[in-house]
Amino acid sequence: MTYPLLLTAFAISTCGLVYELIAGTVASYLLGDSVTQFSTVIGVYLFFMGIGSFLSRYVNKNIVLTFVQVELLVGLVGGSSATLLFILFERVESFRILLYGLVAIIGILIGLEIPLLMRILKDRLEFKELVSQVFTFDYVGALLASLIFPLILVPYLGLIRASFLFGLLNVLVAIWTIYLFKAELPWLRSLRAMAVVLVIALVGGFAYSDKLMAFAESSTFQDPIIYSTSTPYQRIVITGGGKDVKLFLNNNLQFSSRDEYRYHEALIHPAMASLKHPRDVLVLGGGDGMAVREILKYPSVASVTLVDLDSEMVSLFRDQPLFSQLNGDALKDKRVSIINQDAFTWLKRCHNTFDIAIVDFPDPSNFSLGKLYTDTFYRAVKKVLGPQGLVVVQSTSPYFAKNSFWCVVSTLSSVGFQTVPYHAYVPSFGDWGYVIGAKSPFQLAASYPDGLRYVSADTVNQLFSFPKDMLPTINSVNKLNNQSLVHLFESEWGEYAETH
């Protein structure tokens, strides 16, 4: 019975180290700064192993029973640790308390294992043999764990499955011990039943780890995901809770159906209504069709050209009734033609003329998006506008990123547009900014289409005044060869993200 028990030492030490590595890795994934995460996790873990070893002195009766119970508990807690950490990351106030709590529990249990095992073996081996052999197996197990973890477990199984697998191993150790000591153990039946239930649960977790991972991801969103897909250009996620449908592109909120009318009315109407008879409209970006819905409220419109890179995004909002009802089937309208190309390259080849261009791109959060906010880009827009032409640009928040907002204004002015900046309050986003660029003097409309809920002739003037805290401190023009907008945007939103 001695060698089987020594093999147990080998197995449990492997499991123990794997849990520690899993906790360290998950913490680095989720919190970043791997050096800090690994050193604190390892330190806390070893400390609580010491606590576990200390507590082992209070186990006086039925050491084998306690050992089996510890193994079952380690199997449960350790085995589900990665899943717990991933899923609860978004749902708990303080993730670190959960993390170190979990590390502490596993540490205590692992700390109990070796002293208990040595006491089980103490009558079977001479003391020097006992110490030498138990620790040999213990350390060899540690080496094995440290090698298979980065080389096999993480690349081939992933963290969630690896943790279930090793939880299973702990439960098997318990079953093995129950088998070896069946003559001495009380409550055999209930111990066996418990082990079987755990085996089933852990095997289930292992088999369905993909679903669990998806669930863990979905917990980054408040509401249930009703649609998600990865196109060659972006990850589209649509969540829906009751009346509120939200669209996320690469995890950034694009609209919430509860208040998108505010965003889109403010984007379209101040400029559109100021034109006498807008005929030909160009929309760059905005594949969700909400802007087109607003544009079609003008009977003079003869054509709407929508240029959006992502054909899947457009067909989603044209052909899926669940989503096309949000834009009132605007994308199915005969007047709308859809072009799935890069806006910049398309513009450079375009020879048509438009009365108004709506530029509704994602925020300039990286250098390739930043190119769509440059003077070179706006020059290309200007070229396709008629002499009375207007352009409207969604231009991030003048509150959170005021210099970014005013950089868009300066860039539009630098290519010869008369600029009219304004902003609207959209609860889901906060205070949001737009800029109208006009080729000839701009004058606000006296009336607006019927049925608008946000923009009206009486209140529209408010949109055009900026309080002091939204005025710029830096003035710069965004160019392909300086990308000053991306630099500003990074520093301003970065600052905001850090303090919240």
* Residues at the site binding another protein, with contacts judged by CB under 8 A: 2-3, 124-126, 129, 232-233, 309, 342, 344-345, 348, 366-369, 371-372, 374-377, 479-483, 486
Q: Is 138 a catalytic residue?
A: no
Considering beta carbons, is residue 473 or 481 the nearer one to another protein? 481
Residue 161 Cβ, how far from another protein at the closest point, in Å? 21
Q: Which of 249, 241, 268, 246 is nearest to 257 (CA)?
A: 246
Ramachandran region, residue 291 (left: φ > 0; alpha: ψ -120 to 50; beta: rest): alpha
Considering beta carbons, is residue 62 or 250 the nearer one to another protein? 250
Residue 33 Cβ, how far from another protein at the closest point, in Å? 11
Considering beta carbons, is residue 69 or 231 the nearer one to another protein? 231
Separation between Cα atoms, residue 408 and residue 423, nearest integer Å? 13
Which positions ≥6 away from 456 have C-beta within 8 Å? 448
Which positions ≥6 away from 245 have C-beta within 8 Å? 226, 238, 239, 256, 257, 323, 326
Residue 133 Cβ, how far from another protein at the closest point, in Å? 8
Catalytic one of 288, 308, 333, 360: 360
Ramachandran region, residue 242 (left: φ > 0; alpha: ψ -120 to 50; beta: rest): left
If 0-12 CB within 10 Å is exposed, 13-18 middle and 19+ buried, where does residue 337 land?
exposed
Separation between Cα atoms, residue 473 and residue 460, nearest integer Å? 26
Largest CA distance in the chain: 100
Separation between Cα atoms, residue 74 and residue 59, nearest integer Å? 17
Residue indicated by tokens 């995460």: 37
Residue 117 Cβ, how far from another protein at the closest point, in Å? 16
Q: Which of 310, 284, 299, 459 is nearest to 377 (CA)?
A: 284
C-alpha pair distances (Å), 424 with each of 227, 399, 406, 430: 29, 11, 15, 8
Considering beta carbons, is residue 300 or 368 the nearer one to another protein? 368
Residue 481 Cβ, how far from another protein at the closest point, in Å? 4
- Where does 275-310 have alpha helices with state H? 290-295
DSSP state of 355: E
Residue 219 Cβ, how far from another protein at the closest point, in Å? 25
Separation between Cα atoms, residue 477 and residue 484, nearest integer Å? 7
Contact between residue 236 and residue 312 where contact means Cβ atoms under 8 Å apart: yes
Residue 130 Cβ, how far from another protein at the closest point, in Å? 11
What separation, in Å, do the N-terminal and C-terminal C-alpha atoms of the chain show?
58
Residue 163 Cβ, how far from another protein at the closest point, in Å? 23
Separation between Cα atoms, residue 88 and residue 288, nearest integer Å? 32
The residues annotated as belonging to the active site are 360
